[in-house]
Amino acid sequence: MGLKLKNVLPVFVFLLLASTAKAQTVFDVTSAKYGGKPNSDITQALSKAWTDACASTSPSKLVVPKGTFKFLGTTFKGPCKAPIAFQLQGILQAPADGNQLPKKDTWISFDHIDRLTISGGGTFDGQGAISWKENDCHKNKNCKSIAINLRLNFITNSRIEYITTKDSKNFHVNVLGCTNVAFHHFTVSAPKESINTDGIHIGRSTGISIIDSTIKTGDDCISIGDGTKNLNVTNVTCGPGHGISIGSLGRYQKEEPVSGITIKNCTLTDTQNGVRIKTWPASPSAGTASDIHFEDIIMVNVGNPILIDQEYCPWNQCTLKVPSKVKISNVSFKNIKGTSTTPLAVKLVCSKGLPCEKVELSDIDLKYTGNQGPLTSKCTNVKPTITRVTKPLACATSA
């Protein structure tokens, strides 16, 4: 490539981006047209601005400027006619009382949208403290629905970046039926006592990435449900919370396979668990979880740092005597270092009906910080390949 062409290309790209930015039509909820005001309810203003922005035939940007705004909640529906940006610069606040929400299980939902960007440095504040006291979904499978801060339903080719979700009443983000969605510099903020507030839950979605993000919550930082494929989690800081989990799987009929999961370069601090795969015994139908890789993970005061649990049965909601029907295969735990708050630092308990296959442990270096006995490990219904792992961590007990 000639020198002149090399010099021209960056200028061309800059001009192209600049022209695209100029072409972007701005819809500000505080403009005279929509009448939104700080410290007041902007439900109607924001809904009207979304309708206009979504109908725009050129790229559009909906803006919620700095300030605190009350918002009862809604579903932002697509498809839209052009790429659309939701730029939240301020704070959107949900009602503290979940009974005031139009939908009891949802505060904000984005549905059937292609090329959506959610950004702006602002905060979705679910004000969930009251609801945490009422939430018994962790022990009652027939519990009443409680609102999720953000639902992403059937979103494609989109980005969520430089945004915070805070104190959701239930899960912070639920990703369902999405394709090619990236979370960058995304923040989840809730105290460890917040019940059932998973940071990001993913189900039946393909090509999701979570990168350079921080998740502090009271349940799983990231939970991966059935039908998740080609998930990339890189450079995520997790804690407090329950760790990063595949599952739980095998609880419902006709669950879809989980495959192509990579969790890499993450740090977990003061979490109840580390990296784990959990499936229910007595599964109503067969399932699979394969091609799952945990690599370059730092554990800081983590309970159960490495865990496969195919006897996951919280609050005795299942029959342990019947083995799980979820087949786990091609799983690796590589270069995992740090400290464990439990002596059983590596626990691989697989299904006696479908033993795990092709499981690898390599370069595992964990220290126990407590006084409840020596550091140890347990492997049941699995024969992992073990490389550069000290004896206490290398399936000290097995069956």
CB < 8 Å & 24+ apart, contacts of 142-147: 144/104, 145/104, 145/105, 146/98, 146/104, 146/105, 146/170, 146/196, 147/73, 147/94, 147/98, 147/101, 147/103, 147/104, 147/105, 147/106, 147/107
Of 77, 72, 64, nearest to 43 by C-alpha is 72
Q: Would you state the structure tokens that stand for residue 52, as one six-digit string?
A: 């206009």
Are the C-beta atoms of 225 and 256 separated by less than 8 Å? no
Are the C-beta atoms of 213 and 238 separated by less than 8 Å? no
> CA 233 → CA 66, 115, 202, 220, distances in Å?
30, 21, 12, 14
Helix or strand or coil: residue 218? coil
User: What distance in Å separates the CA atoms of residue 135 and residue 115, rounded to the nearest whole number?
Assistant: 34
Query: How many CA atoms within 13 Å lie on the side-chain side of 109?
Result: 19
Are the C-beta atoms of 197 and 217 separated by less than 8 Å? yes
User: What distance in Å separates the CA atoms of residue 387 and residue 263, rounded to the nearest whole number?
Assistant: 20
Of 198, 197, 183, 309, nearest to 244 by C-alpha is 198
Write out the H or E segment, with its range, that includes residue 206.
Answer: strand 206-216
Backbone angles phi, psi at 50, to 5 degrees: -65, -45
Are the C-beta atoms of 138 and 181 separated by less than 8 Å? no
Helix or strand or coil: residue 382? coil
DSSP 99: G
User: What distance in Å separates the CA atoms of residue 10 and residue 71, rounded to the nearest whole number?
Assistant: 42
Residues marked active site are found at 242
